[in-house]
Structure 1
């Protein structure tokens, strides 16, 4: 069962899909049921029988609890809501069972009388038998939401529900909603018809009994407490509550009967948890469908951006503007091509003499290429972010997901810096490629004339126009590279340089995609969690049946 708790509690339901609110409420209720009742009770089956007294506002629960115990242990009030701080009454010998890490482990403990709704007040009394504990819960129909939530939590932690109603309130809808849930879970229930005049007892009791039968509670005991005055201590006359007191004391004194009540409620709780766990798992289908759609849309946009960048860094698009001007300044008007075709001695004389100026212009071309690629990356990152954001927010789950986020319609704030660093690193890798491939050619006239930077520029420009038609502006660079390295080697260098750029761009954009995907759980994660919840629920159901059969055989 602990695996069911972990799977249910950690179940991701982030997306605002149809029915998700109900699934979240079910998830919270199952988590409370498991942590407040099922798991604590499973590890301590011998703990005292916990009777939670709940019911409608003004039904007289606190007075009834005091009268059942035989002394004032809980306070009622004139103003509504009355009972605020829940009170758990137990025999002094049973105090150890109610340590904070056992029954209702999430509720803090207190021994002081007060109105702290989030603390469980412990009160011991020798008038209550060992093996029995009575908890006075807030009203299930309280005007205070905190009281109603606490009442629901306490009732879900009960071995036995003692539901208190009155002639004036017995047909109210809210209490019957709780009783219906009790019937669905096979929870042990007893109903007390309180504050009923002798004249109305027969009619009201008969009607109430028929309502119980029609709602699956025909086996539940029904007690009647006649309307009567209170004694000096604020207690009902002993004879009016004697049938209830006797029944509870008999349960406390009979271990077998007590265990029967506990096991019935526990078995029903486990069965209910298993059933509703499958419901919550089913709710993940919609989450998975939307997550797959969001992932697919984001990946499609991202892939399109990467393809366009790859195309535009090879079709000559970037050989315009500043890049083209710097390149033309570097090669001159046909001077580079003529120089390549001249004899080695003339090349050495011409370019070694003007080496400094030529290499300075090479650096200018490198910077222009870096700037052009950087602008291309920023342009596509901004466009991709806007497209993904628009696609997601066209749906209700997407709007809900991005409403609380800022800046997702733009590239991330540090993208420009990361893109600039990436392009610079790629440039250095191209120059390193030139150094490695030209290791045995560095003393040639052509290599000496242009150096690593100049040849690197020629390689980059040639790469940027690798798929363009015709010789174009990159032709002189290709001529130079072929003359130094040979045509086959140049083709390989161009391919490697472009593949390296594509790889670095993909890694850069992957971080942008991750930024979106981090907002939701991946479809694979959701499917794994869903399968895990269903499997743990199946194991819990098998264990429940095995335990039931063992109990039947033993009894």
Structure 2
């Protein structure tokens, strides 16, 4: 046994033990099939055969529907160990027949470990001995007539109308040391059998062709034509056996011994000749190992495609939410927020003389608030701040809703995105297509915290010896509201404050803030307030984005999976000499 090669194969197998193709990216059905076939051949054939190179030979009898595979197996072993029939599909569960001396090897899970074993008691045959068996099981039968060192496995039809049977047939053929490929004089040119035969050639699988139901008058032309086709497909060295067309008394009848004697003799010689048997194993094993040199890198390329597709899904979400943040930034600049309710409250604050009275005397500022306390009417600056708070919250919700809608639309336009949404149970009109239900409360809390931050900025700036008296004459809350408005009315970055509402007030507000804090200080305060709000909104937008990106986190292969696959394939090739 080549310990280094076995270790390299085990390492390769570990890298395949993940969901490498979770989404509909590229031809994902073919990608998943290639992964399943590769994993299956490692489990079913390469690893067990390399671990026990001298184990009995497994010959899988495969072919098209109605080719007579089960009848052939029963005829070769001289017992009805598998049930032929006119119903299709016939072989629902594969039957493996071996000499009693080899039963321990095949009843263990060394070969085909994924198929549960059902053992047919000695002396029982046909329907009374388990018949067709349960789908998904491997029936094990023994026959003294079959020589030790060789087992026959009757596989399902390669062209079965049941997809699971077709897949199982392919799996069993991939687990074989030797193919006994059965066809008929009427169907030997069909495309489905030749697709398998080409695969056998590509992987150098040991192969024998059994041509059944050959009319006596057509024996020579049919066998000559099939021989020609085999040569043209690079299979001219494969032994070819022709079985004559015979009238059998019933569907359970076996072929007479003389009809299958050439096949039985060839198999018997193979079983007793250790060197010939080893040559078959070496041919098939070497071919399967060599095929990894192309199959694994090709699979790695498909893994890269899957990762790129998942990255594209993430990128369109990032773009959608970047656009959402840009929409919020535009809302800060375009002045639309300072319309409607905010405008009305501004006019209350300025137009009724409250601002001028607060400038004239501290008593006026206190009088307004005392009046509000007794009348239940909020102070004008508070009403303005509440209106502004509501407007900012609305702007955040609009940005988040728009981003969610764009993200869902982008995913729906991509097969992988639709697949992911369906897997996640998210409908187009469902929760993912709009902002989360918790966003309003988070936005409200964020805006209130931001307003508190702005008041702290004003309070901190107002402690300067030169500004304390001027700031105190107006009040922290009123100045804070003015600064909040400045954040949404500034144009050209921090070049100046233009509150474009209520005729004539922009000059007044600008002069007011600059008179209290100074031109440069107002620029700094506005910039700090703006960036703090943007930071808080970015956090909210990020939380909203994570509803999409969390569906992608941990999905698909790791970043280094394709590199590991290629390295593992290279290691197998370097240690592949048998």
Fold-level similarity (TM above 0.5)? yes
Partner of 1:430: 454
Partner of 1:533: 562
Name stretches of at least 5 consecutive residues in structure 2 with no aligned partner.
1-8, 121-129
Q: Distance in 2 between matches of 1:291 and 1:447?
A: 55
Secondary structure of the residue aligned to 2:88 is coil
Structure 1 residue 351 corresponds to structure 2 residue 360:
no
Partner of 1:268: 287
2:293/2:573 contact within 8 Å kept = no
Partner of 2:576: 547
Structure 1 residue 379 corresponds to structure 2 residue 398:
yes
Partner of 1:369: 388
User: In the TM superposition, what is the alpha-carbon distance from 1:489 to its structure 2 partner?
Assistant: 4.3
Structure 1 residue 160 corresponds to structure 2 residue 184:
no
1:281/1:534 contact within 8 Å kept = yes
Partner of 2:267: 248
Go from structure 1 to structure 2 and tell me whether the alpha carbon gap of 1:454 and 1:294 turns closer, same or farther (over 3 Å shift): same
Partner of 1:14: 23
Go from structure 1 to structure 2 and tell me whether the alpha carbon gap of 1:304 and 1:15 turns closer, same or farther (over 3 Å shift): same
Partner of 1:90: 98
User: In the TM superposition, what is the alpha-carbon distance from 1:545 to its structure 2 partner?
Assistant: 4.7
Alignment of 1:28-47 (within 5 A): 28-47=36-55
Secondary structure of the residue aligned to 2:171 is helix
Alignment of 1:28-67 (within 5 A): 28-67=36-75
Structure 1 residue 508 corresponds to structure 2 residue 540:
yes
1:4/1:537 contact within 8 Å kept = no
From 225, 229, 236, the counterpart of 2:243? 225
User: In the TM superposition, what is the alpha-carbon distance from 1:163 to its structure 2 partner?
Assistant: 0.9
Q: Distance in 2 between matches of 1:159 and 1:389?
A: 51
Alpha-carbon displacement from aligned partner over 1:360-413 (angstroms, at most 9, x marks no partner): 444332321121011112223333344444455556666666677423554445
Alpha-carbon displacement from aligned partner over 1:341-374 (angstroms, at most 9, x marks no partner): x5xxx42x33334445397444332321121011
Q: Distance in 2 between matches of 1:253 and 1:394?
A: 63
User: In the TM superposition, what is the alpha-carbon distance from 1:211 to its structure 2 partner?
Assistant: 1.8
Structure 1 residue 317 corresponds to structure 2 residue 349:
no
Q: CA RMSD in A?
A: 3.9
Structure 1 residue 460 corresponds to structure 2 residue 484:
yes
Alpha-carbon displacement from aligned partner over 1:196-224 (angstroms, at most 9, x marks no partner): 35544333333222222221112222233
Alpha-carbon displacement from aligned partner over 1:492-548 (angstroms, at most 9, x marks no partner): 3322221121122222223444444566689xx98965x633552354245235322
2:60/2:179 contact within 8 Å kept = yes
Go from structure 1 to structure 2 and tell me whether the alpha carbon gap of 1:131 and 1:449 turns closer, same or farther (over 3 Å shift): farther
Q: Distance in 1 between matches of 2:484 and 2:175?
A: 72
Partner of 1:497: 529
Q: Distance in 2 between matches of 1:96 and 1:420?
A: 72
Name stretches of at least 5 consecutive residues in structure 1 with no aligned partner.
none
2:209/2:241 contact within 8 Å kept = yes
1:336/1:476 contact within 8 Å kept = no
Secondary structure of the residue aligned to 2:111 is coil
Partner of 2:4: none
Q: Distance in 1 between matches of 2:462 and 2:14?
A: 61
Secondary structure of the residue aligned to 2:208 is strand
Secondary structure of the residue aligned to 2:180 is strand
Secondary structure of the residue aligned to 2:576 is helix
Partner of 2:194: 176
1:4/1:533 contact within 8 Å kept = no
1:100/1:108 contact within 8 Å kept = no
Go from structure 1 to structure 2 and tell me whether the alpha carbon gap of 1:126 and 1:317 turns closer, same or farther (over 3 Å shift): same
TM-score when normalising by structure 2: 0.79
Q: Distance in 1 between matches of 2:303 and 2:551?
A: 16
Q: Distance in 1 between matches of 2:143 and 2:460?
A: 90
Structure 1 residue 68 corresponds to structure 2 residue 76:
yes
Structure 1 residue 258 corresponds to structure 2 residue 282:
no
Q: Distance in 2 between matches of 1:366 and 1:461?
A: 9
Q: Distance in 1 between matches of 2:460 and 2:101?
A: 85
Q: Distance in 1 between matches of 2:236 and 2:185?
A: 19
2:408/2:428 contact within 8 Å kept = no
2:180/2:210 contact within 8 Å kept = yes
Go from structure 1 to structure 2 and tell me whether the alpha carbon gap of 1:418 and 1:135 turns closer, same or farther (over 3 Å shift): farther
1:458/1:480 contact within 8 Å kept = no
Alignment of 1:103-502 (within 5 A): 103-111=111-119, 113=130, 114-227=132-245, 234-283=253-302, 297-314=316-333, 316-331=335-350, 333-337=352-356, 339-340=358-359, 342=360, 346-347=361-362, 349-356=363-370, 357=372, 360-390=379-409, 393=412, 405-407=427-429, 409-434=433-458, 453-467=477-491, 470=498, 472=500, 473=505, 488-502=520-534
1:166/1:196 contact within 8 Å kept = yes
Q: Distance in 2 between matches of 1:382 and 1:297?
A: 16
1:302/1:513 contact within 8 Å kept = yes
Alpha-carbon displacement from aligned partner over 1:247-302 (angstroms, at most 9, x marks no partner): 33444444444343223222322333432333344456766776666555544443
Go from structure 1 to structure 2 and tell me whether the alpha carbon gap of 1:316 and 1:58 turns closer, same or farther (over 3 Å shift): closer
TM-score when normalising by structure 1: 0.82
Q: Distance in 1 between matches of 2:247 and 2:54?
A: 38
User: In the TM superposition, what is the alpha-carbon distance from 1:461 to its structure 2 partner?
Assistant: 1.9
